[in-house]
Structure 1
Amino acid sequence: MCPPVLFAGVRPLVALCRSLTGAGRPLAAVAALFVLVAGGASAQPRTAPPPMAGTMAGQGPSVVVPNFWNVERRLERPDAARLPKELRFVTTDDYPPFNFLNSDGVLSGFNVDLARAICAELAVTCAFQTAAFDQVADLVDQGRADAALAGLVATPAARTTLDFSERYLGTPARFVGRLQETMEAATPEAVAAKKVAVVSRTAHEAYLRSFFNEAAIRPYPDLRAAQEAVKSGQADLLFGDGITLSLWLNGTDSANCCRFIGGPFTESRFFGDGFSVAVKDGNDTLRHAMDFALQRIWEKGVFTDLYLRWFPIGFY
């Protein structure tokens, strides 16, 4: 079993944990794997955002909108006759702001709006059903849903029963510091003089110990404790999942204490490959259709609109 503390509640890493433990590796070995990966990494942290990322200036700090598509590539529009007239998406309803029930009980969120945009691009209707996260992949594999848009990750274990589109969102790591913190670039040299809070036994801690080992690393048992440490000044910085931290910064719990500093850090060996749309294994027609629709959604600016709507404090 994979306890949430191991991966700080980040679904891509939970999925990776399940794939590893499902392959017969004990939990201790999975935790050790991240330390081994950290030890075998290159000497410099990877901080570059995805290629062609756009910067949108709003009333607050500029928001970098990530782009995972090659704008010079031209994908063929799928044959409408080979697509279902109604695309049945499965997602969850307990992962805001990606998928959740709003105050009126209506399914909402970034993933839901993205699914609707895919259907609009493919000129088909959308239907949604919800399920527990650990049941989503089975519904697609069993043919009870055409596609899953629920924060799934294309792990080796998942690829045994599912095919995946190109990723539509990454899961970078970020540093957070208080508003009065003057440091701008989160380099190993700059961070070396800082006390850094992190959730213990996570990929984020392993990354710190690999690339920022001269800093005063302060492990905490859970994310809330780490957040309180940086809010109260017990720690100078907090290092963790960028998505989770962006939601915290945009919410009331942060009390407007903090901001992102430097980054993002996008090393897939630590932080996963990001979210993709899942379809049944062998359904190349639908997988190619998803790739086509996602690229067109980016080119038309629809992806940017959705990202800015649901992530007013961007995590790139």
Structure 2
Amino acid sequence: MRAFLAISVLVAQLWVVPLAAQPQATPAAPASTSPMERAVVPTPNFWDQGQRFAEPDLAGRARIRFLTSVDFAPFNFLDQRGRLAGFHVDLARMICEELDLAARCQIEARPFAELGDALAAGDGEAVIAGLALDADNRARFAFTHPFFRYPARFVALNGRPLDSELDAGLSGVPIGVVAGSAHEAMLKAFFPRATPVALPTREAALEALRAERVRAVFGDGVGLSFWLSSEAAADCCAFAGGPYLSDHFLGEGLAIAVKPEDEDLRSALDYAVGRIVANGRMSELLLRYFPVSAF
């Protein structure tokens, strides 16, 4: 394994990492999860398999610099050795491999608030850090197709499945949810007959679930997936029902941003991600960083 290269530049603390040299992070799955069990963990596919992109020709590109941040675990962060790691980092590496550009790719970490301006100024060719797919950013940048979306999920106590209540539209069922959150609004819209119990924090909602003051908790599936695998959960609970997606309440997901005039690169990134999905490497990546599937 080649040595990790990290260069701190300027006062903004900029990490520059050649992707071909960066060791691939491999977060461990929970000890109780066998390889066979991990193989059947559901992984989502947000990609239209019928959509085809022309194989790109990027031979004239001197390099591709991906810009990211270090404050968005498990997508992009610094590991215990101070190395840039995460889902986005490994995805960028896979993209460069698919495009046969690994030797010309690098990833640079900057403060999140500076990423958009850095891309606009030409300090990088792509941002892979979770830039919101909102009107302001769409006016400044072009985005690839989303490769990940945030699901909302119910969590219930083990041994108390929520199936019958869900079949009845959760009529009169007390559901813990964070007050003022997008998930509270989504719960009211998707399950108008439920009885929302608005609590100040997710921790308060989960404590209410443990104390059986609510029948289930509704919230961010990604955050809840990590909580379920943590010592704090103590194997008390499990996901109930399926994932719920909503562009309106939860946004359109995660995509890579490029300059609006760089259509060749945007198309090439879509091509590479499509191949990563088709050959199963995206599922491997999801299992690596989300051993308890949010889906």
TM interval, short-chain normalised: 0.7 to 0.9
Do 1:163 and 1:280's aligned partners in 2 also have CA atoms closer than 8 Å? Answer: yes
Name which of 240, 245, 265 aligns with 1:266: 245
Q: Which residue of 2 aligns with 1:69?
A: 47
Separation in 2, partners of 1:58, 1:241: 27
**Structure (1 or 2) with the greater helix fraction:** 1
Q: Which residue of 2 aligns with 1:313?
A: 292
**Secondary structure in 2 matching 1:59:** helix
Provide structure 1 residue ranges, at least 5 long, that are not aligned to the other structure.
1-56
* Aligned twin of 2:4: none
Q: Is 2:101 the partner of 1:101?
A: no
Is residue 133–residue 251 contact of structure 2 (8 Å, CA) maintained in 1? no
Mapped partners of 1:161, 1:182: distance in 2: 46
1:175-230 per-residue CA deviation (whole Å, 9 max, x = no partner) reads 11111213236636252242211011111111222232322211011222112222
Q: Secondary structure at the match of 1:191?
A: coil
Partner secondary structure for residue 238 of structure 2: strand
Q: Structure 2: where are the runs of 5+ without partners?
A: 1-34
Q: Distance in 2 between matches of 1:58 and 1:135?
A: 43
The 5 A counterparts of 1:224-263 are 224-263=203-242
Amino acid in the other structure paired with 1:208? L
- Partner residue, 2:31: none
User: 1:39: which partner in 2?
Assistant: none
Sort the Cα spacing of 1:117 and 1:61 in 2 relative to 1 into closer, same or farther, 3 A: closer
Q: 2:59 aligns with which of 77, 81, 95?
A: 81
The letter of the residue matching 1:231 is R
Give the share of equivalent positions with the same residue, in percent.
37
1:195 lines up with 2:174 in the alignment: yes
TM-score, normalized by length of structure 1? 0.77
**1:76 counterpart letter in structure 2:** A
Q: Please give the alpha-carbon distance, in whole angstroms, between the structure 2 residues aligned to 1:176 and 1:312.
A: 17
- Residue pair 2:153, 2:221 contacting (<8 A) in 1 also: yes
Matches of 1:171 and 1:110, distance apart in 2: 14
Q: Say which one has the larger Rg.
A: 2
Report the RMSD for the aligned CA atoms in angstroms.
1.9
In the superposition, the TM-score normalised over structure 2's length comes to: 0.82
Shift of 1:86: 2.3
Aligned-pair distance for 1:61?
Answer: 9.5
Give secondary structure in 1 for the equivalent of 2:147: coil
Report if aligned partners of 1:89, 1:148 keep a CA contact under 8 Å in 2: yes
Residue identity matched to 2:201:
D
Distance 1:214 1:74, change over 3 A: closer
Question: Which of 115, 123, 126 is the matching residue for 1:144?
Answer: 123
Q: List aligned pairs for 1:1-316, cutoff 5 A.
A: 58-59=36-37, 62-82=40-60, 84-124=61-101, 125-184=104-163, 187=166, 189=168, 191-316=170-295
Aligned length: 259
